[in-house]
């Protein structure tokens, strides 16, 4: 089985709305978060289809050098440019692009005009779906590629546990639907009783992402019986530096949370599976990755390696498909990811545990589609490999989190030229090299992303290190 040519089962022309529609309090935790609207620029490579047209809308204008960079991957950049319409609001404030558009009559009018210029048969492809995306699609009279807003809770932390259990996929010892400190204290006390050997537990906000909504609670020294006030005085590490028990409790009361045992074994790995469900309910595996984690307790997403390790790659695909079939039966469509924990070793075997479902595009979406579309490759589900023309396979290492004070003030054109001059840039003749993204975050934050593509994992790691060394010099 191989992947389709487009994410989300999209057909016809595309109106791309890369709105990261999460609470502003959560978005502020991510440096240069508004530039993350550029992570869907991989879709410009679909302009290789001669009849394809794309409207791409952003909060603020994208640097022309960045657009030129993506179009250079195409056989005829000039023709592709004629079939691309860019719309920006000139509104760089942190917040949902879809909500901005709905509150911006002039900007919405410009977007409507761009949509009206399409021959017909277009659809709207968002980063994630909330009621704002549904309302925007309705305002544009376009079909929406993604889950209905009333189904999005299935991808919350609580919803993830419930769906996994329904699918017969293992989850960690824990509790879901926690909305108050007293409920959290009761759940923590229950876990301590069930797992007296556990050093800590993790409380996770239902709608937190990239690990930024997690709090690690040390169990040593907690009194018995345990109250909510005891937790606020406990040894707790919040994965987001600006978080505190006061802010965490308010968010927990608003959106809910889960609590799970913290697993910290030496052999623990955190792979993910990216899938999509077509509008007619067909489940398709797109890719597997090993996540690169860091921060407190390795709770924060930093990047990924493709593909996931061969020894458990097919096992996580199988469990992901079980979960996806439950989601499809509920009516979910679109691209999404499932994170797992894998514990064990090749000799003793592996235990696969579902960590969370993300009913949206994520950190692995851009790298996979960029590599796949740039190379003209296909994903082979039987082997879990990305096969390129000629029969070879490709691996990659990717991150959104290359950040350095030395990069602050850099222009996208500067970095593109530096990588080109060093001979590290992606070469379509060999389907090998570094591709760049998130370039709009460079001037203010000194932050960017890179995907380093090579025939083997070792070569991808080496290319990644050489690229980082070059950029940080």
Q: Per residue in 181-217, pLDDT tens?
A: 999 999 999 999 999 888 899 999 998 877 778 999 9
pLDDT at residue 350, as a whole number: 87
Asked if residue 158 belongs to a domain, the reply is: no
CATH of the domain at 372: 3.30.470.20
Domain count, the chain: 3
Q: What is the mean pLDDT of residues 44-67?
A: 97
Task: State which of 228, 261, 294 marks the end of a domain.
Answer: 261
Asked if residue 60 belongs to a domain, the reply is: yes
Task: State which of 261, 279, 295 marks the end of a domain.
Answer: 261
Are the C-beta atoms of residues 361 and 172 closer than 8 Å to each other?
A: no
Whether residue 398 is predicted with pLDDT greater than 70 in this model: the reply is: yes
Domain check: are 292 and 436 in the same one? yes
Asked if residue 418 belongs to a domain, the reply is: yes
Q: What is the mean pLDDT of residues 83-87?
A: 98
Q: How confident is the model at residue 242 (pLDDT cuts 50, 70, 90)?
A: confident
Instruction: Please report which helix (H) or strand (E) contains residue 314, including its range.
Output: helix 310-330
CATH of the domain at 64: 3.40.50
Domain check: are 239 and 388 in the same one? no
- Which pTM value belongs to this model? 0.92
Domain check: are 254 and 275 in the same one? no
Asked if residue 152 belongs to a domain, the reply is: no
pLDDT at residue 161, as a whole number: 97
Q: How confident is the model at residue 297 (pLDDT cuts 50, 70, 90)?
A: low
Domain check: are 277 and 403 in the same one? yes
pLDDT at residue 44, as a whole number: 98
Domain check: are 304 and 439 in the same one? yes
Domain check: are 281 and 253 in the same one? no
Distances (CA, A) of 297 to 144, 157, 211, 249: 37, 18, 10, 21
Percent of the chain with pLDDT over 90: 77
Domain check: are 17 and 93 in the same one? yes
Domain check: are 291 and 406 in the same one? yes
Q: What is the mean pLDDT of residues 139-168?
A: 95
Are the C-beta atoms of residues 202 and 173 closer than 8 Å to each other?
A: no
Asked if residue 326 belongs to a domain, the reply is: yes
Q: How confident is the model at residue 267 (pLDDT cuts 50, 70, 90)?
A: confident
Domain check: are 417 and 363 in the same one? yes
Domain check: are 257 and 282 in the same one? no
d(C-alpha 422, C-alpha 409), whole Å: 20
What is the rounded average pLDDT for all residues in the chain? 92
Tens digit of pLDDT for each residue in 339-361?
Answer: 999 988 877 788 999 999 999 99
Q: Give residue 76's domain range.
A: 7-146
Domain check: are 190 and 230 in the same one? yes
DSSP per residue, 206-257: TT--TTTTEEEEE-TT--SS--HHHHHTS-EEESSTT--HHHHHHHHHHH-E
Tens digit of pLDDT for each residue in 406-461?
Answer: 999 999 999 999 999 999 999 999 999 999 999 999 999 999 999 999 999 999 99
Are the C-beta atoms of residues 289 and 322 closer than 8 Å to each other?
A: no
The CB density around residue 369, as the number of other CB atoms within 10 Å, is 23
Asked if residue 163 belongs to a domain, the reply is: no
Asked if residue 247 belongs to a domain, the reply is: yes
Q: How confident is the model at residue 6 (pLDDT cuts 50, 70, 90)?
A: confident
Whether residue 2 is predicted with pLDDT greater than 50 in this model: the reply is: no
pLDDT at residue 247, as a whole number: 92
d(C-alpha 457, C-alpha 361), whole Å: 24
- Which residues are CB-contacts of 116 (< 8 A; sequence separation ≥ 6)? none
Task: State which of 227, 261, 295 marks the end of a domain.
Answer: 261
The CB density around residue 79, as the number of other CB atoms within 10 Å, is 12
State the distance between the two ends of the chain, measured CA to CA, in whole angstroms: 43
Domain check: are 299 and 390 in the same one? yes
Whether residue 258 is predicted with pLDDT greater than 60 in this model: the reply is: yes
Asked if residue 433 belongs to a domain, the reply is: yes
State residue 158 phi and psi, 5-degree precision: -70, -45
Q: Both tokens of residue 252?
A: 């927990």
């Amino acid at each position: 089985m191989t992947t389709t040519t487009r994410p989300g089962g999209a057909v016809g022309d595309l109106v791309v709305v890369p709105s990261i529609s999460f609470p502003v309090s959560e978005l502020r935790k991510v440096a240069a978060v508004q530039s993350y609207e550029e992570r869907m620029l991989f879709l410009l490579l679909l302009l290789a289809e001669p009849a394809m047209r794309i409207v791409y809308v952003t909060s603020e204008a994208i640097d022309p050098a960045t657009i030129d960079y993506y179009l250079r991957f195409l056989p005829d950049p000039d023709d592709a440019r004629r079939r691309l319409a860019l719309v920006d609001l000139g509104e760089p404030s942190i917040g949902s692009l879809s909500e901005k558009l709905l509150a911006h009559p002039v900007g919405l009018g410009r977007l409507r005009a761009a949509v009206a210029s399409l021959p017909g048969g277009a659809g709207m492809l968002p980063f994630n779906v909330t009621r704002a995306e549904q309302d925007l699609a309705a305002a544009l009279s376009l079909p929406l590629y993604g889950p209905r807003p009333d189904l999005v809770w299935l991808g919350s932390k609580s919803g993830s546990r419930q769906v996994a259990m329904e699918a017969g996929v293992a989850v960690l010892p824990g509790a879901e639907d926690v909305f108050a400190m007293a409920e959290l204290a009761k759940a923590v006390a229950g876990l301590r009783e069930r797992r007296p050997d556990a050093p800590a537990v993790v409380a996770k906000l239902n709608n937190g992402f990239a690990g930024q909504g997690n709090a690690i609670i040390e169990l040593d020294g907690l009194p018995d019986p345990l109250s909510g006030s005891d937790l606020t005085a406990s040894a707790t590490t919040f994965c987001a530096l600006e978080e505190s028990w006061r802010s965490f409790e308010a968010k927990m009361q608003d959106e809910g949370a889960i609590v799970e045992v913290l697993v910290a074994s030496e052999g623990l790995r955190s792979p993910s599976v990216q899938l999509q469900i077509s509008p007619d309910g067909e489940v398709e595996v797109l890719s597997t990755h090993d996540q690169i984690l860091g921060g407190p307790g390795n709770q924060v997403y930093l990047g990924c390696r493709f593909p996931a390790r061969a020894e458990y790659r097919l096992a996580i695909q199988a469990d992901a498909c079980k979960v996806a079939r439950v989601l499809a039966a509920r009516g979910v469509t679109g691209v999404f990811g499932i994170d797992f924990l894998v514990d064990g070793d090749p000799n003793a075997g592996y235990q696969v545990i579902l960590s969370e479902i993300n009913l949206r595009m994520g950190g692995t979406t851009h790298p996979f589609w960029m590599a796949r579309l740039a190379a003209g490759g296909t994903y082979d589900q039987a082997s879990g490999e990305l096969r390129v023309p000629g029969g070879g396979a490709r691996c990659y290492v990717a991150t959104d989190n290359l950040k350095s004070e030395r990069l602050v003030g850099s222009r996208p054109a500067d970095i593109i030229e530096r990588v080109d001059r060093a001979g590290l840039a992606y070469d379509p003749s060999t389907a090998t090299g570094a591709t760049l993204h998130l370039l709009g975050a460079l001037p203010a934050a000194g932050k960017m992303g890179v995907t380093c593509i090579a025939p083997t994992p070792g070569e991808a790691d080496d290319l990644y290190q050489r690229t980082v060394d070059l950029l940080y010099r």
